[in-house]
């Protein structure tokens, strides 16, 4: 019944079993949209993010809560722009077809299953075969759309993306932020004090990690099961998400040092780690670790990343 | 075939470990070279010209008398504070350098020198007599040499330090911490008789009750104020006698603490509370000096009241005031406020000059290759910033120039200039001597390190193949060791080691979570796992196991705040429970009930159930009686009153012994009863009996932790961990729980409150064992729990478990030794790295060799026995 997970999977003998209950594969790794703009912007975005963070670092040290709160809308805006420009949205036809033709493994295709399309797609049966699905007609249709550049369809595509990104932003705020706050506390953040710091830090991390995940994968249960088990195949989205979390985890390292520097205060190092981790994770996810899954040895795989 | 040499390698590694520790320790804790003999006044009668200010001294030490206990607004020392206001008492805060335990501090007070860290161990191994001061120069020896008689009452550490020194003495054991009243009454009953006698020239008292209260119940305990008032009444008694009695007319009364205590009531480390004891010089004569001070007052910084002097300053001050030569090894500086007792300036200068000459001699001794001759001085004192010895030398140079200029002319401003120059020199010299590195035996250090490295290498082949087999967990283990090793070189990480283990634990839980969500969930092929109940149990644990682990670990993390940086933040044991006593006792009873339930599950017979319930109930009663006598603030009032009415006067010692024997008796009993039901969770009678014992041997506020530990073990039991994963889990959990129980890498957190349970008379070995058990209760529990989890392991798996543990022990020990060797001249070597080395020793020798290995041997024996009986049955 259970089909093997998508192709670029590296397995070792111990962990070769398929994901538990799913009888249909989760979405394969996602790549940046093949447009010139997307490729360029996908490099500009992390760089801009890091430089902005570095520029605002003194202010962050000065007053973490208000600075994090002030920067949150800008981060959300920048990230929404990033996912809209660079990533295929869930549930939009254009998203699934945005990728180039499936050719060499070095330029893997992006096919995304979405909440809406899975339900219909599962019935077709082609889904159960697993891999990247690119229905021939669509590519052509997409191409024609692009070439014809009919303003109305472009507008609708953009509208679709806007809706998707706003939806994912809402989901991120409503779901990912509380979940990440709880995880932060479980991993050792203060429970009785520093609530604003924790929630704001979680909000930043949620935008960095979950926004793109939701935008690309929607509420696809299989994908989120994989996320829960931390075994998504490496790509720019999952790399960024995992990098954010691991970066924040590593960010706790300088806190106990007795240097008595103001930047050692609780959320600052974590947030720094999260930003750096996001950038490193996305870069590594789309390049070196593309398609590779974190096996049980996540602990050290992740450390290699950082 | 290959197994044999491998297991032998592990055995040899374990045998070599104590040797490595011994060699390294001998190099790391050298006896300090001291100038032998007694100091004499130089050039005959010339210098005795300074008349003594006092004939006799009453020296009253109150153990752990932190400065705020006397000086603050909520002190019980009301009479003493009135003395400060009237000017009859000169108050100071005396800086007591680490290690802040009694014996080294007494050495500092009497010899004026900085004691070596070795004294900490000797302080614990009290029977040792090699640390005696009988042949060292102290103000006591000087008094005796000048024909005085000394009497001493209180802490018998004095008697060990000064054998044969006292005419009359009555010592009390300083380690019996559960007694607050007898120890002090034993001193007080001698006070009035001694005050009426005039044959002594030094009357020394050392009260221990206050320290015991600190250890047992902390500085905020309700006992504390009562004890302070009791001590204050003794001060009042002595002071009135000094005013009234003729033979006490020229008596100096010194009241001081040997060290302070931290907020938990412990001491040994270098936190500001521990290093700030009070020091008061009291005499009606001081009223003439007209120094009026406010009292009670606020501290100008943490625990710093009035002026802060060094504890070693007591020695030269006493010597000066009593007209004695300053002890040879002193690095103290005469306390300036007391100089005014001499009327003429030249007398004051003489006092300071003899102090300077003595300290210069000490410097000459310490820096034999430096020339201290004024005429051959070749340092450019005026050029640039100076450091260390040069600074002191230049100050001495300046003193000499001033001396030559004085030429006997009695010019007042010259004298004041000379006085300040002398103080400048004295301060610099003190600093130079104090910060000079101790002499280590580098050869032994390196030899010890080499042996440990060899111990690391021995199990390495086994470990390497193991780690390669499942390189996922292996890499985590390697990174954990590397991280730990690197951490040992940073003082703040040593202080905050609990953060590392908590951090590692969360990561490890995440690893286990990822692993378990990938691995197919195949249960072990044992039959009981197929029951419906078990499947439910298994399911709930397997899906949310990691979350439950994280959640309970998060609670555990906040149980006891430890370390340095965040130690004072509110936590569950010290902040929450004292104000929520009913919750505490509900959880404590729940813990006992849970342990009892686990015990009951082992056998079906009625006799067994009766025994288990009896034991659990009596252990709970025993714990209640301990809490009622030691920290009654944890008991709800109604319960306390009831308790006092019903049980007061009962012998806890006998009761404790009965309970311990009863718990031990459960194990042979379980072997006699054979109808064994099937257990839901892997456990052994031994493990559950041990849990009952450990629970009783822990602080009341830590008892509910065992519930969490049990939950952890149950969750881990459902995860089907491999041998390596189990070994890593066991290791991380051992360290993590040690810190969760309130342990740290500071001597101050050694918990002595359960070290005397069931002990009638002081016994070093028993007290040592109980101290270890009560401090390492968590690790010991985990060793036993891991044994229970590994019941079905094959022989090679057991061997690899031991190999992992041995390798980890050796590697951590090696990194600590390396850090101590490389950082031996680090500023924090005695405050941070040496205590860490002591703890590393305890982890290696006691926790690894005694507990882990013993557990393994016990298991081997019991399985052999079981096999035999099985064969016989067949």
Query: Along chain A (306 residues), what's the average pLDDT of each consecutive run of 10 residues?
Result: 36 37 64 88 92 93 92 92 88 44 37 37 37 37 43 78 87 90 91 91 93 88 82 87 93 86 88 94 88 57 35
Please answer yes or no on whether A300 and B479 come within 8 Å at the CB atom.
yes
Mutate which: A299, A305, A306, vs B, most B CBs within 10 A: A299
Range with lowest mean pLDDT among B312-321, B494-503, B626-635, B776-785: B626-635
Please answer yes or no on whether A295 and B558 come within 8 Å at the CB atom.
no
- In 3D space, the residue among B602, B596, B648, B650 whose CA is nearest the CA of residue B620 turns out to be B596
- In three-state secondary structure terms, B307 is strand
Residue B12 has pLDDT above 80, yes or no: yes
The pLDDT score that the predictor gives to residue B595 is 93
- In three-state secondary structure terms, A114 is coil
Residue A110 belongs to some domain of the structure: no
Residue A219 belongs to some domain of the structure: yes
Of A170 and B3, the one with more pLDDT? A170
The pLDDT score that the predictor gives to residue A151 is 64
Of A123 and B791, the one with more pLDDT? B791
Strands B89-95 and B56-62: unpaired
The domains of chain B, with CATH numbers, are 57-339 (3.40.720.10), 342-436 (no CATH), 447-519+527-867 (no CATH)
Of the pLDDT bands very low, low, confident and very high (cuts 50, 70, 90), residue B457 is: very high
Strands (DSSP E) contained in B270-343 are 278-282, 307-310
The pLDDT score that the predictor gives to residue A266 is 85
> What does the alpha-carbon distance between residue A99 and residue A94 come to, in Å, rounded to a whole number?
9
* Average pLDDT of chain B to the nearest whole number: 84
> What does the alpha-carbon distance between residue A87 and residue A257 come to, in Å, rounded to a whole number?
40
Please answer yes or no on whether A299 and B479 come within 8 Å at the CB atom.
yes
Q: Which residues pair with B12 in a beta bridge?
A: none
Residue B807 has pLDDT above 80, yes or no: yes
- In three-state secondary structure terms, A84 is helix
Of the pLDDT bands very low, low, confident and very high (cuts 50, 70, 90), residue B270 is: confident
> What does the alpha-carbon distance between residue B109 and residue B162 come to, in Å, rounded to a whole number?
13
The pLDDT score that the predictor gives to residue B518 is 58
Residues ≥6 apart with Cβ < 8 Å to B63: B102, B155, B174, B206, B207, B208, B209, B210, B211, B257, B258, B259
Enumerate the residues of chain A whose CB falls inside 8 A of the CB of residue B827. Answer: none
Of B385 and A68, the one with more pLDDT? A68
Of B812 and B416, the one with more pLDDT? B812
Tell me the range of A143-147, B30-34, B382-386, B792-796 where mean pLDDT is highest.
Answer: B792-796
The pLDDT score that the predictor gives to residue B606 is 86
Enumerate the residues of chain B whose CB falls inside 8 A of the CB of residue A20. Answer: 517, 520-521
Q: A229 — contact with chain B (CB < 8 Å)?
A: yes
Tally C-beta pairs within 8 A across A and B.
99
Q: Which two tokens stand for residue A66?
A: 């208000």
Residue B546 has pLDDT above 70, yes or no: yes
Q: How far apart are the first and last CA of chain B?
A: 30
Can you tell me the mean pLDDT for B591-601? 91
- In three-state secondary structure terms, B776 is coil
Strands B251-256 and B56-62: parallel
Of A157 and B808, the one with more pLDDT? B808
Q: Quick one: closest CA in A to B562, which residue?
A: A256
In this prediction, does ipTM exceed 0.85?
Answer: no
Most distant pair of Cα atoms in chain A: their distance: 64
Of the pLDDT bands very low, low, confident and very high (cuts 50, 70, 90), residue B20 is: very high
> What does the alpha-carbon distance between residue A213 and residue B56 come to, in Å, rounded to a whole number?
83
Nearest Cα of chain A lies from the Cα of B302 at a distance, in angstroms, of: 17
The pLDDT score that the predictor gives to residue A82 is 92
Residue A123 belongs to some domain of the structure: no
CB < 8 Å & 24+ apart, contacts of A219-223: A219/A115, A219/A171, A220/A26, A220/A27, A220/A90, A220/A113, A220/A114, A220/A115, A220/A118, A222/A19, A222/A22, A222/A24, A222/A25, A222/A26, A222/A27, A222/A113, A223/A26, A223/A27, A223/A113
Residue B280 has pLDDT above 50, yes or no: yes
Q: Residues, chain B, total?
A: 874
Of the pLDDT bands very low, low, confident and very high (cuts 50, 70, 90), residue B123 is: low
Handedness of CA A80, A85, A87, A92 (dihedral sign): positive
Can you tell me the mean pLDDT for B100-116? 84
Facing residue for B520 by CB, picked from A17, A258, A298: A17
Asked if B496 and A256 touch (Cβ cutoff 8 Å), the reply is yes
Please state the separation of Cα B160 from the chain's center in Å. 20
- In three-state secondary structure terms, A232 is coil
> What does the alpha-carbon distance between residue B771 and residue B778 come to, in Å, rounded to a whole number?
13
Residue A61 belongs to some domain of the structure: yes
H/E stretch holding B151: strand B150-155
H/E stretch holding B205: strand B202-207
Q: A261 — contact with chain B (CB < 8 Å)?
A: no
Q: Tell me phi and psi for residue B170, to 5 degrees.
A: -145, 105
Of B404 and B786, the one with more pLDDT? B786
- In three-state secondary structure terms, B281 is strand
Enumerate the residues of chain A whose CB falls inside 8 A of the CB of residue B515. Answer: 15, 296
Range with lowest mean pLDDT among B38-42, B587-591, B632-636: B38-42
Enumerate the residues of chain A whose CB falls inside 8 A of the CB of residue B506. Answer: 186-188, 249
Q: Residues, chain A, total?
A: 306
Residues ≥6 apart with Cβ < 8 Å to A185: A191, A198, B554
Nearest Cα of chain B lies from the Cα of A259 at a distance, in angstroms, of: 9
Nearest Cα of chain A lies from the Cα of B494 at a distance, in angstroms, of: 10
The pLDDT score that the predictor gives to residue A295 is 60
- In 3D space, the residue among B444, B601, B536 whose CA is nearest the CA of residue B24 turns out to be B444
> What does the alpha-carbon distance between residue B340 and residue B286 come to, in Å, rounded to a whole number?
9
Enumerate the residues of chain A whose CB falls inside 8 A of the CB of residue B513. Answer: 229-230
Domains of chain A: total? 1
Please answer yes or no on whether A258 and B492 come within 8 Å at the CB atom.
yes
Asked if B409 and B338 touch (Cβ cutoff 8 Å), the reply is no
Show the domain range for A199: 33-89+156-305
Asked if A13 and B472 touch (Cβ cutoff 8 Å), the reply is no
Q: Quick one: closest CA in B to A258, which residue?
A: B492
Please answer yes or no on whether A14 and B519 come within 8 Å at the CB atom.
yes
Share of residues in chain B with pLDDT > 70 (%): 86
Residue A40 belongs to some domain of the structure: yes
- In three-state secondary structure terms, B648 is coil
DSSP label of B722: -
Facing residue for A294 by CB, picked from B514, B558, B565: B514
DSSP label of A29: P
Please answer yes or no on whether A256 and B558 come within 8 Å at the CB atom.
no
Helices (H), B631-776: 637-647, 652-672, 685-696, 705-717, 723-740, 764-775
């Amino acid at each position: 019944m259970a089909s093997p997970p998508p192709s670029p999977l590296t397995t070792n003998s111990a962990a070769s079993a398929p994901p538990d209950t799913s009888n249909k594969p989760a979405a394969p790794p996602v790549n940046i949209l093949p447009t010139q703009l997307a490729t360029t912007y996908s490099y500009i975005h992390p760089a801009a993010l890091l430089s902005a963070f570095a520029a605002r670092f003194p202010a962050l040290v000065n007053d973490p809560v208000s600075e994090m709160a002030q920067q949150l809308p800008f981060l959300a805006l920048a990230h929404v722009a990033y996912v809209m420009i660079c990533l295929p949205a869930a549930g939009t036809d254009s998203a699934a077809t945005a990728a180039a033709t499936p050719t060499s493994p070095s330029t893997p295709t992006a096919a995304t299953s979405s909440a809406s399309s899975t339900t219909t797609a599962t019935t077709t049966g082609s889904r159960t075969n697993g891999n990247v699905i690119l229905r021939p007609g669509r590519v052509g249709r997409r191409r024609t759309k692009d070439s014809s550049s009919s303003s109305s369809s472009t507008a609708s595509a953009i509208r679709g993306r806007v809706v998707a990104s706003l939806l994912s932003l809402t989901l991120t705020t409503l779901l990912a932020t509380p979940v990440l706050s709880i995880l932060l506390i479980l991993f050792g953040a203060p429970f009785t004090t520093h609530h604003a710091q924790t929630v704001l830090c979680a909000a930043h991390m949620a935008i960095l990690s979950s926004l793109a995940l939701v935008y690309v994968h929607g509420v696809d249960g299989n994908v989120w099961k994989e996320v829960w088990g931390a075994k998504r195949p490496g790509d720019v989205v999952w790399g960024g998400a995992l990098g954010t979390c691991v970066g924040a985890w590593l960010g706790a390292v300088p806190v106990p040092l007795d240097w008595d520097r103001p930047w050692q205060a609780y959320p600052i190092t974590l947030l720094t780690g999260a930003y750096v981790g996001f950038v490193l994770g996305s870069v590594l996810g789309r390049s070196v670790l593309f398609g590779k899954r974190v096996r049980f040895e996540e602990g050290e795989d992740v450390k290699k990343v950082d | 075939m290959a197994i044999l040499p491998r297991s032998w390698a592990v055995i040899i590694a374990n045998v070599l470990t104590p040797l490595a520790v011994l060699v390294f320790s001998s190099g790391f804790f050298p006896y300090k070279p001291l100038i032998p003999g007694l100091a004499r006044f130089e050039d005959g009668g010339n210098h005795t010209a300074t008349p003594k200010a006092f004939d006799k001294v009453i020296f009253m030490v109150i153990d752990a008398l932190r400065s705020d206990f006397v000086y603050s607004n909520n002190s019980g020392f009301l009479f003493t504070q009135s003395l400060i206001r009237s000017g009859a008492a000169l108050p100071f805060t005396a800086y007591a350098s680490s290690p802040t335990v009694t014996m080294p501090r007494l050495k500092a007070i009497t010899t004026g020198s900085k004691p070596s860290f070795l004294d900490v161990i000797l302080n614990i191994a009290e029977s040792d007599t090699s640390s005696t001061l009988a042949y060292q120069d102290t103000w006591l020896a000087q008094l005796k040499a000048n024909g005085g008689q000394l009497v001493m009452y209180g802490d018998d550490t004095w008697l060990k330090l000064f054998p044969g020194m006292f005419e009359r003495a009555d010592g009390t054991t300083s380690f019996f911490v559960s007694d607050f009243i007898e120890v002090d009454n034993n001193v007080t009953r001698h006070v009035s008789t001694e005050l009426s006698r005039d044959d002594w020239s030094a009357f020394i008292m050392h009260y221990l009750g206050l320290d015991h209260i600190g250890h047992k119940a902390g500085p905020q305990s309700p006992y504390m104020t009562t004890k302070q008032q009791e001590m204050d009444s003794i001060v009042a008694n002595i002071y009135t006698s000094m005013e009234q009695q003729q033979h006490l007319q020229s008596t100096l009364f010194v009241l001081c603490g040997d060290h302070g205590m931290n907020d938990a009531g412990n001491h040994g480390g270098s936190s500001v509370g521990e290093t700030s004891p009070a020091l008061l010089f009291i005499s009606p004569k001081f009223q003439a000096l007209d120094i009026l001070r406010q009292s009670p007052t606020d501290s100008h910084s943490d625990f710093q009241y009035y002026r802060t002097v060094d504890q070693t300053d007591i020695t030269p001050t006493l010597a000066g005031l009593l007209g004695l030569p300053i002890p040879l090894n002193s690095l103290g500086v005469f306390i300036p406020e007391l100089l005014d007792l001499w009327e003429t300036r030249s007398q004051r200068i003489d006092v300071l000059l003899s102090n300077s000459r003595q300290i210069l001699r000490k410097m000459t001794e310490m820096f034999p290759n430096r020339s201290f001759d004024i005429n051959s001085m070749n340092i450019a004192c005026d050029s640039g910033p100076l450091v260390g010895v040069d600074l002191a030398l230049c100050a001495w140079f300046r003193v000499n120039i001033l001396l030559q200029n004085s030429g006997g002319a009695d010019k007042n401003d010259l004298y004041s200039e000379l006085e300040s120059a002398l103080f400048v020199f004295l301060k610099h010299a003190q600093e130079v001597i104090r910060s000079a590195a101790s002499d280590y035996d580098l050869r032994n250090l390196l030899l010890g390190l080499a042996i440990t490295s060899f111990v690391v290498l021995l199990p390495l082949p086994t470990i390497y193949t193991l780690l390669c087999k499942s390189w996922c967990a292996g890499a985590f283990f390697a990174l954990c060791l590397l991280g730990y090793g690197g951490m040992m070189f940073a003082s703040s990480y040593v202080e905050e080691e609990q953060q590392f283990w908590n951090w590692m634990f969360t990561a490890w839980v995440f690893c286990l979570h990822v692993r378990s969500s990938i691995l197919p969930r195949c249960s072990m092929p044992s039959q009981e796992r197929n029951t419906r109940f078990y499947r439910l149990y298994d399911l709930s644990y397997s899906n949310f196991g990691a979350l439950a682990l994280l959640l309970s670990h998060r609670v555990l993390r906040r149980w006891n705040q430890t370390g340095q940086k965040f130690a004072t933040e509110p936590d569950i044991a010290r902040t929450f429970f004292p104000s929520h006593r009913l919750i505490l006792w509900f959880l404590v009873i729940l813990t006992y009930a849970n342990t009892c339930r686990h015990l009951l599950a082992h056998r079906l017979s009625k006799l067994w159930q009766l025994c288990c319930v009896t034991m659990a109930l009596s252990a709970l009663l025993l714990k209640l009686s301990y809490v009622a006598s030691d920290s009654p603030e944890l008991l709800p009032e109604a319960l306390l009153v009831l308790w006092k009415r019903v049980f007061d006067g009962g012998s806890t010692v006998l009761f404790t012994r009965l309970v311990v024997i009863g718990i031990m008796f459960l194990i042979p009993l379980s072997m006699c009863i054979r109808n064994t039901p099937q257990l839901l969770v892997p456990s052994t009678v031994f493990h559950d009996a041990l849990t009952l014992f450990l629970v009783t041997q822990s602080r009341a506020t830590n008892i509910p932790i065992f519930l969490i530990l049990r939950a952890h073990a149950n969750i881990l039991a459902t995860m089907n961990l491999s041998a390596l994963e189990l070994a890593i889990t066991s290791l991380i959990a051992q360290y993590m729980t040690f810190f969760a129980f309130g342990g740290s890498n500071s001597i101050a957190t050694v918990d002595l409150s359960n070290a005397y349970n069931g002990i009638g008379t002081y016994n070093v070995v028993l007290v040592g064992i109980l101290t270890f058990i009560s401090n390492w209760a968590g690790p010991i529990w985990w060793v036993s729990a891991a044994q229970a989890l590994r019941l079905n392991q094959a022989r090679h798996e057991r061997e690899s478990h031991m190999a992992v543990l041995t390798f980890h022990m050796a590697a951590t020990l090696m990194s600590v030794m390396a850090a101590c060797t490389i950082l031996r001249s680090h500023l924090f070597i005695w405050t941070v790295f040496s205590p860490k080395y002591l703890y590393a020793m305890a982890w290696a020798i006691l926790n690894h060799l005694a507990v882990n290995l013993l557990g393994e041997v016990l298991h081997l024996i019991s399985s052999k026995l079981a096999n035999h009986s099985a064969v016989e049955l067949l």
